[in-house]
Amino acid sequence: MTSPRRTAPRSAHALPKAVFFDMDDTIFDHSLTCRRALARLRRTEAPLRGQTLDAVWHEYARLLDIVQPDVLAGRITIQDARVERFRQLAQFCGREVSPADAADLSRRYRVHYQKLRRTIPGVREVLRRLRGRTVIGVVTNNEVAEQERKLDHLHLRPLIDFMIVSEGVGVAKPDPGIFLLALEKADALPEETVMIGDSWRSDVTGARNVGIRPVWFNRFHLSPPDPWPVRELDSFRSPVHTEAVLAGDVTERSSPR
């Protein structure tokens, strides 16, 4: 590989045969959509005003992380998980709410969330530039219908080659099975492929375990949990730099920092 060439022209970087993108918080801006939806919800819902917006947002993310493995494994329905999340969120804000009120909060949140959905800044341009030069697969843990709706709402279908959703294939990242299915679909070998995603466990470790080179999309500048050298991107604002990272034309950063 060559030395860093951040100002290289579009054709300078030898892209991998396939690039797999995570969806949530890599293409689709779940975190900031969630924050904005909670902000809207708090305008009308007193039970969620007992803490600052940032505190509520972080608690929401924490509760989501805890329950997600159970939802993905089918141990709890997504609907029950949502209601319970809002019951606990209200409790975090110092208010006890009934299951019916929690369900109502969840419904109202969802309306705001669906309306406010947006992509990560810059990713659309990155996908446009990559399209046709590499196979673009989305490999995501979630419900099929939810992810399909995102593709439509965000007009992403023309920008990707395929999407594999954990619910649809019965296996979720970081299980090697979902990556192997994606490789088959892309007709690519692991060493010809890059996986980019925000989750260290699902995307970075999952890809690495099957021999796919990971790129960690780390826009909140988290510390890596393991001392593995990994290439990182903290935004898609420079498509040229993004391509250099995907091509492996930049130095890996070793962790911890």
CB of 25 to Mg ion, least distance (A): 4
The smaller minimum CB distance to Mg ion, of residues 24 and 167, is found at: 24
The smaller minimum CB distance to Mg ion, of residues 42 and 208, is found at: 208
Structure tokens at 242: 């993004």
The smaller minimum CB distance to Mg ion, of residues 12 and 61, is found at: 61
CB of 15 to Mg ion, least distance (A): 22
Site for Mg ion, rule CB under 5 A: 22, 24-25, 198-199
Which amino acid is it at 99? P
The smaller minimum CB distance to Mg ion, of residues 166 and 199, is found at: 199
CB of 88 to Mg ion, least distance (A): 22
Please answer whether residues 90 and 48 qualify as being in contact, where contact means their C-beta atoms are separated by less than 8 angstroms.
Answer: yes
CB of 203 to Mg ion, least distance (A): 7
CB of 27 to Mg ion, least distance (A): 9
CB of 22 to Mg ion, least distance (A): 4
The smaller minimum CB distance to Mg ion, of residues 135 and 196, is found at: 196
The smaller minimum CB distance to Mg ion, of residues 159 and 172, is found at: 172
Strand 162-165 relative to strand 213-217: parallel, antiparallel, unpaired? unpaired
Of 166, 151, 155, 198, give the one whose Cα is nearest residue 25.
198
